[in-house]
Amino acid sequence: MKDHVPQNSVDSLTFKTKVGSSVCGYLYGDPDGEPMIYCHGWPGSGVQAALADSAAQKHGFRIFSPDRPGIGGSSYVPDRQISDWPDLAIQAAETLGWKSFHLLAVSGGCPYVLAIAAAYPERVRSVTICCGAALPEFVLDPKNSYPIYRGLEILHRRLPVALRAGLHLARLYLKMIPAGFVFYPLYPFIDANERRAIHPRKNRLPMARSVKGGFRQHPRGILHDATRFIEPWGFSLESIQIPVHFWHGTADRNIPIEAARKTAAKVPNSSFTEVSGESHYSLPLLYLDKIVGGISAEKSS
């Protein structure tokens, strides 16, 4: 069994898009549950949705979690944009026989679910975002952003060769290291709350397999995915007319909460839940059951 995919039995689906590329995704949760499309974070892949598997089974959702282009099992598509994603999501839904669906995003999946909501509001039952990425003008603002992200943006503009070399080294590391050990070298650089959340094997294995899946192909895919966040997203948040629920930890250093608040404020019908003391990794690892349960409560009301 490959190290970048879950060790338990998970259904997968691969389909050809209208332009001839392939999209690969993974199915989790209750086979008879309500449809949900999960958009993974960065640097990750569709198998990240394994984190929501038990919550989806418990609360009655069937998740489809696709790899974005150039990631995992999906074809690399040069120059693809976030605004291209809604049509792919609709094609995935139609392949699965879904007329409508819920949307759930973690971190870098945020602009992708917002793009779907803006383009196809009639197909979307709900939108929920956990520790979501912020708009470029906020995430790159020195007052609101994580220094590593600003450094990556500088390398992308000024030393792209060095950035590509670094990603090749990361891919080599991920190919060599078993999933259970991937995050150990990062422990000194993350706070104690993050370490407590990541350390249990049931948490760190899905996270590590997600990252390994992100680097499964040539690093150009994961690099292109990263640059989508720091360039204009290609649609207006103000045009989103369906409710969007944001969840964010007050201790998130990757996407500081002020940047997330400012992004959410641009969505007309948004609500914002702050989770005290939780950070970028601890929130999805520890709160997805509560978050998915909240979606379930809303659909029942």
pLDDT digits (tens, 9 = 90+) for 20-59: 899 999 999 999 999 999 999 999 999 999 999 999 999 9
The answer to the question of residue 198 being in a domain is: yes
pLDDT value of position 8:
45
pLDDT at 145: 61
- pLDDT number for residue 162: 79
Q: Burial letters for 182-206: b for 16+ Cβ neighbours within 10 Å, e otherwise? A: bbeeeeeebeebbeebbeeeebbbb
The count of structural domains within the chain is: 1
Q: pLDDT (tens digit, 9 = 90+) per residue, 51-62?
A: 999 999 999 999
Domain that holds residue 176: 11-300
Q: How far apart are CA 45 and CA 52, in angstroms?
A: 14
Helix axes 160-176, 220-229, angle to 10 degrees: 120
> pLDDT > 90: what percent of the chain?
74
Comparing CA positions, the residue from 50, 1, 38, 253 lying closest to residue 150 is: 253
Give the span between the Cα atoms of 22 and 15, in whole angstroms: 6
Which residues sit opposite 246 in a β-bridge?
129, 272
Regions of the chain short of the pLDDT cut 50? 1-2, 4-9
pLDDT at 5: 46
Is residue 161 in some structural domain?
yes
251 in Cβ contact with 131 (< 8 Å)? no
Q: Is 288 helix (H, G, I), strand (E, B) or coil?
A: helix
The answer to the question of residue 5 being in a domain is no
- For residue 190, being part of any structural domain is answered with yes
Residue 51: give its domain's CATH number: 3.40.50.1820
- Is 186 domain-assigned? yes
* 279 occurs within a structural domain: yes
